[in-house]
Amino acid sequence: MAETFRQPQGGGSLIVAWQAKARSILIVGGGPVAASRVFNALEADAHVTVVAPELCAELAHRAAAKQIAWRERRFEDADVEAADMVLTAIGDAHESRRIAALCRLRRIPVNAADINELCDFWFMSTHRDHSVQIAVSTNSKAPRLANRIRRQIASALPRGTGLAVEQIGRLRKRIREADPAPASSKRRMTWLTQLCDYWPVEQLAALDSDNIDSLLDAYVQNHDPQRVCIANGATSHPLPPPPLPPLSASSASSSGIPSPVLQAHASGALPAPATRGRLVLVGAGVGDPELLTVRAHRALESADIVLADKLIPEPVLAIIGCEVYTARKFPGAANEAQDDLFRRALEELGRGRCVVRLKQGDPFVYGRGAEEVLFFRAHGYEAEVVPGLTSAINGPGLCGIPVTHRGVADQVLVLSGANRNGDLPAVPPFVATRTLVILMAVKRLGQIVALLGRTGHPPDLPVAIVERAGCADQRTVRATLATIVAVVECAGHNAPGLIVAGHAVNVLSDAAIQDRYLDPSSLGLHSAECSS
């Protein structure tokens, strides 16, 4: 019988991790795109040379700090002679083609920004946590979608994954030193495999030097790693996690496809309920299910169906044990989505079911919660309201920004950047002791910055973009009013986010962050900048 082998799907690219440490990377260009390439190269411990007549603020800072070598002129053919890799980030497509041809003659890998056919390789959407690197490539077909996929993968990783890898690396090195014989290779591999497969990542991340010594002793004494106890306050050997419960046959997808129960109801196969339904309006808080209130947990446990906003994070949805119907809100169709939720809620309430309307943050803080209370009241249902943590206050706090601080900020103003008819918020004149929080406004950042400038807010005012607060991939991008637009253009934006402006932004910043504050893209390019 002939064997069946996997068939390659093709795609035109091969994903590898290039060892860039101490290699010479030449970058042609001095703008924001070149700055992002420089950051990636420096993270890989490469030696970076930039060729450009002038530099953007970030690259000028790096050149002054001796992080890069700068040749203050236009590109010359001789520049590629000592390069191991060449990256072009210039607006002159003809010159990029000439440089790429020059590199190919010398067998030097080259990447030309925004000219796919000239590239020997592409930059992928990456997540870095210590030695863990996760890269997503779409072969340059859908870079923005690659970012979304990468965020979803990164958010699914257990907390401490990168640190766990570092600790396993330390233990692996110790074991090889203690038992270096080639004949022991299989034993070493089998022992470490059991440890990696059965211990929770969080417990591996918590290992300290004493724990590693204990594990090394267990290996030497040929003890089963699944039965080793460590004395760091954690549990002893872990058990495999319980299996996930099967999905209910009556579950509906987030696309709004009716469940079998709804179809039966529509056909008249189900009897009319003897009692009226119950409606609970619940605030889902800022993203972490552990930050839900006890009352919110109880409401979700008692629900027959949950009608959820589109922005409810997956970790919150994952703890819900009943049917979930998600609003399909798209730009320009918010009212239609709201009407669809109202229709579905009235149907379920009419069947006597307990309906939880789950809204992000707090329902009464720019969440249209009061509108929903009035709508259902007009239809004979009085909603129970369960408040949630609002991102306006708790989002900055989760990322190390207190919105008030004695002697620095004694007032907070919360505004929305998504008002009716597309109007910008009404911003009062600048007050030095005020913290300004603007929700749903990052997509209009340039307009917001201009508006703040017109109302007397100084160019050096600290500004932060707080993204996905409470989620595993939360991030904070810090800059000033004068530089925040350029920084976000360089770092990208992971929605949803909010803007915080005021001197309280830097109250808890340590010396290292203050130093990086002058180096904006490093604040926006990896999640380690935020508390998590």
Beta strands in 377-496 (DSSP E): 384-386, 411-416, 434-439, 462-467, 475-480
Burial classification of residue 105, based on how many CB atoms lie within 10 Å of its CB (0-12 exposed, 13-18 middle, 19 or more buried): exposed
For tokens 């339904």, what's the residue?
Answer: 277
User: Which pair of tokens denotes residue 300?
Assistant: 């979700």
Residue (of 100, 105, 145, 109) closest to 125 by Cα position: 145
What does the DSSP assignment read for 123-154?
Answer: PPEEEEETTEEEEE--TTS-HHHHHHHHHHHH
d(CA 280, CA 427): 34
Annotated catalytic residue within 45, 114, 197, 410: 114
Cβ–Cβ contacts within 10 Å for residue 426, how many? 9
**Is 114 a known active-site residue?**
yes
d(CA 82, CA 285): 54
The continuous run of DSSP H or E covering 278 comes out as: strand 278-283
Q: What are the angstrom distances between the C-alpha of 52 and each of 38, 393, 520?
A: 13, 43, 20
CA 78 distance to own-chain centroid: 41
Q: Is 222 helix (H, G, I), strand (E, B) or coil?
A: coil
Are residues 273 and 348 in contact, defined by beta-carbon separation less than 8 angstroms? no
CA 217 distance to own-chain centroid: 39
Burial classification of residue 63, based on how many CB atoms lie within 10 Å of its CB (0-12 exposed, 13-18 middle, 19 or more buried): middle
d(CA 516, CA 526): 13
CA 204 distance to own-chain centroid: 23
d(CA 100, CA 109): 9
The continuous run of DSSP H or E covering 164 comes out as: helix 161-178
Query: Side by side, which strands form the sheet with 278-283?
Result: 323-326, 305-308, 354-359, 278-283, 384-386
Q: What is the DSSP letter of 439?
A: E
Residue (of 502, 498, 524) closest to 286 by Cα position: 498
Q: Which amino acid is at 154?
A: A
d(CA 26, CA 50): 6
Angle at alpha carbon of residue 26, lines to 123 and 125, rounded to 5°: 10
Are residues 119 and 112 in contact, defined by beta-carbon separation less than 8 angstroms? yes
Catalytic residue positions? Answer: 114
